Structure 1
Amino acid sequence: MAPFDFGQKVDTAQFDKLIEGNYEVNASDYLQKGWEMFKGNIGEFIGFTLVVFAASLVISKLGAFGSLLFSALAAPLYAGFSIAAFRILSGKSLQFSDFFKGFNYFLPLFLAGLASGIIVSVGLALLLLPGIYLAVGYMLTTLLVIDHRMEFWQAMETSRKIVTKNWFAFFIFALLLFLVNVLGIIALGVGLLVTIPITSCAAAIAYKEIVGLHSTEW
């Protein structure tokens, strides 16, 4: 997929059974597997997290322009963790360059991040609960873009419909991921070198076990 492709419309019939049926969300299991995945590739994950931190530090020095630049780069950068996890889950070898393949999906990831950020912010400002509902509902958006080359709005809506079926379980999962990263911040921020990869891997594992992997190339 070229970086500035909008993505494609996908036949959502493949998700109907999941949306209409039922599934389990095993948050602690996903985190445990995320930890195991991190341990097996610790050098690559910590190395890429350091790259993300360094990029954010450099960009922060650019003032308002830096904020705009990082908002554009954040989604494809963090998508690198998901791509790495997908490759490991599918039994493929992991190269450090694979972490940067999120930029192959730059435009749909950027648009999804922009649109969901605005919508969630409005929901939080107006009544709080709609914002929380949507923040959790959009959890699978990035993963759908990467796995199905899906255009951003369809990915957001598909994610919301899938998550809504078992929203409270996803809320607990999202809260657990958040708390793990808070622990990383408390550990002088250094802990984020561990918690960001673990929580990112856990989210990718949850996607794989609930939705299933569609693509074989990321």
Structure 2
Amino acid sequence: MTEGQIEKLFQQYPEFNIQESIKKGWEFFKTQPLNSVAFSLLIFTIQGLSTFYLDNYSLLISILISPSLTAGYFLVANRISRGVEVEFSSYFEGFSYWGIVIVTSLISGILTFFGILALVLPGIYLAVAFMFGIPFALFSGRDFWFSLELSRRLITMNWWKFFGFVLVLVGINIVGIIFFFVGLLITIPVSYYAIYAVFEELTADALAEPKGIPEVE
């Protein structure tokens, strides 16, 4: 991502429609319903097995594996948006970005944790502000710190709107929990797809230039 692209990114106020973003996330899900549910089930299974059978290493496994799995949702959403064929293996392409995705997730988690320890509110601010950290790490071609800073700067411009967006996503997943947790197999991928939909909407003009979103085949 060039300096010119970065300048363009912040030329416009980051406005978006929450309802339309959720709807777009749902549309992405409907494109790959079985793969989305199967991938979410696999994530739950990995987390469950590590918790019950590898309790002493569950946190380490989460740190080393979960970020790349999460990245898979964003990469698949990008494929769907571009009209590129999606296979179940496409969800594991986050491991191609293993290093930067892990560091981005780890640093954002640590900063958010210390923010919560400080006065709670800074932690809440950072939790929302770093929402695009992994997408920027995947699609901007910049390092983890620059990706987190891009996310923070962009979201801070309209932080309360993003906070409301997060609350809506939390509410949707609470509904998924109410339905015996099975609903989470749907609401979690829809949530990640919706986040990508907002990210794409706000960064499309900047990343559309040469050296923009890299092809992920």
TM-score, normalised to structure 2's length?
0.92
1:54 and 1:149 map into 2 onto residues whose CA distance is 32
Question: 2:23 is matched with which residue?
Answer: 32
Shift of 1:20: 4.2
Question: 1:49 is matched with which residue?
Answer: 40
Q: Is the 8 A contact 1:25 1:170 kept in 2?
A: no
Question: Which of 185, 189, 192 in structure 2 is aligned with 1:200?
Answer: 192
Shift of 1:39: 1.5
2:145 and 2:214 map into 1 onto residues whose CA distance is 23
- Greater than 3 Å deviation, 4+ residue runs: none
2:169 and 2:7 map into 1 onto residues whose CA distance is 27
2:10 and 2:174 map into 1 onto residues whose CA distance is 31
Shift of 1:71: 1.8
Shift of 1:98: 0.5
Question: Which of 37, 62, 66 in structure 2 is aligned with 1:70?
Answer: 62
Find out whether 1:106 has 2:98 as its counterpart: yes
User: Which one-letter code corresponds to 1:48 in the other structure?
Assistant: F
2:56 and 2:192 map into 1 onto residues whose CA distance is 28
Question: 2:150 is matched with which residue?
Answer: 158
Q: Is the 8 A contact 1:181 1:192 kept in 2?
A: yes
Question: 1:217 is matched with which residue?
Answer: 215
Residue ranges of structure 2 left out of the alignment (5+ in a row): none
Identity %: 34
Per-residue CA distance 1:154-179 (angstroms, 9 max, x = gap): 10001101111111111111111111
Shift of 1:87: 0.1
Matches within 5 A, 1:127-142: 127-142=119-134
Shift of 1:45: 0.5
User: Which one-letter code corresponds to 1:21 in the other structure?
Assistant: Q
Q: Is the 8 A contact 2:31 2:80 kept in 1?
A: no
Question: 1:191 is matched with which residue?
Answer: 183
Q: Is the 8 A contact 2:14 2:155 kept in 1?
A: no
